[in-house]
């Protein structure tokens, strides 16, 4: 029995990586791009990076399919995603009054929740649309709109900073 018949990859030992199906990265060598300094394959090249990320993505998707194949697996994934997403959002909320990327972290936590929960996916989509609408309004609006928008944003950030300082004191 041939190797391709055993594992179902469609790649035989003599067919090489060019005959591999899309998404099958098991027999493709990492770092096939030569280093411009002549010291062997360049493992930091964009091609090697894309290959590594494609391998990792394929591995994660295989792992996720295996977990989703059972009821307990689906339940466990939902619990893990809920805990991790909630933790990331909590860190973002803590960082809101501090100088830092609080809103970006909150949106990242929402994106994690959106992997498993439909309500989070809808909320993330709504948030993106509103953010794009607001940036378009500020970018294309008159100077008065820009000044009022930035002033309102500064008032909100200043108020949050003042409240957080009062809570810490």
pLDDT by residue (tens digit) across 60-93?
A: 888 888 888 888 988 998 999 999 999 999 999 8
pLDDT range class, residue 38, cuts 50, 70, 90: low
Per-residue exposure over 115-151, b if at least 16 CB sit within 10 Å of its own CB, e if not? ebbeebeeebeeeeeeeeeeeeeeeeeeeeeeeeeee
Q: How many residues are given for the chain? A: 169
pLDDT score for 109 = 94
Angstrom distance (rounded) from CA 166 to CA 154: 18
pLDDT score for 2 = 44
The sign of the torsion formed by the CA atoms of 117, 93, 159, 131 equals negative
Tokens of 68: 């989703």
pLDDT score for 73 = 87
Give Dmax over CA atoms of the chain in angstroms.
75
């Amino acid at each position: 029995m041939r190797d391709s018949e055993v594992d179902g990859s469609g790649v035989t030992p003599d067919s090489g990586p060019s005959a591999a199906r899309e998404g099958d990265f098991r027999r493709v060598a990492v770092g096939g791009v030569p280093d411009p300094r002549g010291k062997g394959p360049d493992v930091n090249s964009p091609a090697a990076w894309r290959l590594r990320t494609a391998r990792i993505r394929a591995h994660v998707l295989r792992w996720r399919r295996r977990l989703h194949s059972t009821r307990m697996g689906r339940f466990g994934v939902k619990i893990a995603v809920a805990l991790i997403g909630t933790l990331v959002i909590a860190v973002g909320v803590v960082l809101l009054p501090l100088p830092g990327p609080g809103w970006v972290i909150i949106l990242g936590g929402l994106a994690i929740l959106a992997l498993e929960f439909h309500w989070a996916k809808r909320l993330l989509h709504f948030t993106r649309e509103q953010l794009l609408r607001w940036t378009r309004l500020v970018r294309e609006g008159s100077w008065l709109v820009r000044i009022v928008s930035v002033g309102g944003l500064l008032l909100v950030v200043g108020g949050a900073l003042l409240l957080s300082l009062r809570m810490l004191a």
